Amino acid sequence: MSIIRYVTGKTKLLGVIGNPISHSISPELHNTLSNYMGIDAVYVPFKVEREKLGDAVRGLKALNFKGFNITIPHKSNVIEYLDELSREASFIGAVNTVKIIENKLYGYNTDVDGFVNSFKEEAGTGFTNKKVAIIGAGGAARAIAIGVANEGAQKIFIINRTLSKAIQIRDIIISNIMPYKECPENIESFQLNDSACTEVLKLADIIINTTSIGMHPDIDCMPVPEHVEFNSNQIVYDAIYNPSKTKFLQQAENKGCKIINGLGMLIYQGIKAYEIWMDITVPKEIAREIFNEFKNYLT
């Protein structure tokens, strides 16, 4: 018989709360990270109902957790239980990472870093001086739009079925992010069915879908009309990673576009959360190796 010593009284405690939670790959990711980095920590998933969210947060705090992630449907509701928010989390209106320091809860949103780092890694380029079209206006769209603006995009087009929500993201970036606030023409909002939308998508160097349209099991759906024409000079990104190649990406690939799915964003936002909890920087070569391992694992 072997004595199991994976977890002791010195082990740092981490976790994730959400509902549902059984599908989450966060335990595999963060426990793998701890193994790579030689850190004595364990990460556990917790299914938490909405009415029990406050109890869960207080419980993790009482149990001396180092930190935890928050996933659907608690990313916005958790804010009322936190002491401070990062700048990005305030703009986005959602938190996916909490760090506990001296009995205080600090909320972060690591989707911005996760998206930017994964995109640069996989695309081999950034957003400087690029024209970027973003489809959708939810929490993921806000994070991605903030990341794109921070990285110096030349123009940003927000495209959504409900125009008012796209305008909200435009206003957040103009007021808080864009380095030249006197130039609001750098970011524009469009309704998805607007005739101008098709032309905007043709103009874009990079097209990003942030919606869940096309996600399993609705794999025959597209976030844009099927007549939209891609061109081979474009990079087309879909925040969905299941399926690994949505119909949206398949059509773009058929036109010669470089395509990227959302797995990298998922992995890199998790790595950023781990860096926040542990006050470390995960070396790029380790981050890249972990991403490649999970890409193979999930495929």
Residue 19 gets the label, from left (phi > 0), alpha (psi -120 to 50) or beta, of beta
Catalytic hit among 10, 12, 61, 75: 75
> Which residue type occupies 94?
A
Task: Quote the CA–CA distance of 34 and 19 in Å, as a whole number.
Answer: 25
Task: Quote the CA–CA distance of 97 and 185 in Å, as a whole number.
Answer: 33
Q: What are φ and ψ of residue 259, in 5° steps?
A: -120, 145
Task: Report helix, strand or coil for 153.
Answer: coil
CB atoms under 10 Å from CB of 217, counted, come to: 7
Active site (annotated) includes residue 75: yes
* Greatest C-alpha distance within the chain: 70
Tokens of 175: 């007021």
| Range list of H helices, 134-235 | 139-150, 163-176, 195-203
Whether omega before 217 lies within 30 degrees of 0, making that bond cis, reads yes
Alpha-carbon distances of 258 from 54, 85, 243, rounded to whole Å:
44, 36, 17
Among the listed residues 37, 78, 40, the one whose alpha carbon sits nearest the alpha carbon of residue 61: 78
Catalytic residues: 75
